Structure 1
């Protein structure tokens, strides 16, 4: 009971009691994404929670190549790209006040939000 295994079990139980809210933001427009991240961080800090982030995640680039002409000229092509910007915010030790404030927060329509508890 007092070996190293018992210590790791007790340690895991202590870590599981701490709550964390992980918020992932995605958007095509990085300005709207950064504004949303600032709003979330300010709201969480006002309610007394600890905040880690916003952490910029790698930008995903999707490149689409199409033919310029519908018939001939296969060598003439045009490329379009779509960039998806991402941010990660961790809210440590959230209170009920924090969750209520985040639910009432008004964010732009172009920002996708994933929340994990």
Structure 2
């Protein structure tokens, strides 16, 4: 029995929530205990660039990227749980980071 932590990141929160729902459903089907999804603070990165390459310093454009993230803890992972997670087909926009911890 081990604890698995999944950290998911995406630019679009709707895609992220759909992926989280499919992971939670797959884990509950195998009978493992789950904590989460825990929403983490959204990271906002803003970039300011000049609109013109030569003149008009006052004319600028601003861009923003928001990174949404969630954490899911699987408390008692079984081999069936790991198999079901490996077979899941998640959206390509979602970045998944898996960490395994012994209890």
TM more than 0.5:
yes
Residues of 2 paired with 1:78 and 1:101: CA distance?
A: 45
Residues of 1 paired with 2:4 and 2:39: CA distance?
A: 17
Identify the match of residue 28 of structure 2 among 40, 45, 49.
45
Q: TM-score, normalised to structure 2's length?
A: 0.94
Residues of 2 paired with 1:92 and 1:44: CA distance?
A: 10
2:64: which partner in 1? 81
Structure 1 residue 68, shift from structure 2 partner: 1.1
Once the two structures are superposed, residues 83-113 of structure 1 have per-residue CA deviations (whole angstroms, 9 ceiling, x without a partner) of 1100000001111110000000000000000
Q: Which runs of 5+ in 1 are unaligned?
A: 1-17
Measured on the aligned residues, the alpha-carbon RMSD in Å equals: 0.8
Residues of 1 paired with 2:59 and 2:91: CA distance?
A: 38
Query: If you compute each CA radius of gyration, which structure gives the higher value, 1 or 2?
Result: 1
In the alignment of these two chains, the number of paired residues is: 100
1:65: which partner in 2? 48
Q: Which runs of 5+ in 2 are unaligned?
A: none
Secondary structure of the residue aligned to 1:93 is: strand
1:107: which partner in 2? 90
Instruction: Return the structure number with greater helix share.
Output: 1
Once the two structures are superposed, residues 48-94 of structure 1 have per-residue CA deviations (whole angstroms, 9 ceiling, x without a partner) of 10111111001111101001112111111110001110000000111
Instruction: Return the structure number with greater strand share.
Output: 2
